Each structure stands twice: as C-alpha cells, then as structure tokens.
Amino acid sequence: MKKRAVAREASSGRFLPRDAETGQFKERAAGGFKVGPEGMVKLNAIEGIFQSSESRKMFAEFERSGASPEERRRAIVARHARKS
C-alpha cells in the first residue's frame, strides 16, 4: 500500500506536505509558506527572468555576511535606484 504524500488540514482543508525523512505530516507556518532563493530562481526561470552574474555574486555575499533582510533591501535599492 502506497503512503499518501499529502493530507488535508482539519481546520482549513488545505493540503499538508509529508516530511521526506520522517514521513510525518508537516504543519504549516501561520504566515503561509516561504520560497527560498533557489526556489525563486526556478520560478523566475519559468517566466524567462534570469539573474545576472553580478546579482548572483551580490546574493552570495549576503549569505556569506549574514546580512539582515533590512540590510539586503538597502543594498538592492542602492544598487538599482535611479541616479538623478
């Protein structure tokens, strides 16, 4: 008998994914789900949007330095803001 990959959440009827290692169903976070950097690259590729090598280096540096979300936003805005 094959294990079901998902189950329905009792309160909302949404599907719950099964953890690949333990086989237990995972509870969802209160705010929904988050897509990580690798997931965003894949989603953007579907739309034909690709990161430049400079952007990949910038995001790698964020990871190395442990930059906070606010620090990341400031750096991205500073890089892409229009110069007047």
The pLDDT averaged over each successive group of 10 residues in the chain (84 residues) is 52 64 66 75 91 91 93 93 78
User: What pLDDT score was predicted for residue 3?
Assistant: 53
Name 75's Cβ contacts closer than 8 Å, sequence gap at least 6. 58, 62, 67
pTM above threshold 0.95: no
Question: Which structure tokens are listed for 42?
Answer: 């894949």
DSSP secondary structure string for all residues of 17-39: EBPTTT-PBPPPBTTB----HHH
CA distance 19 to 38: 19
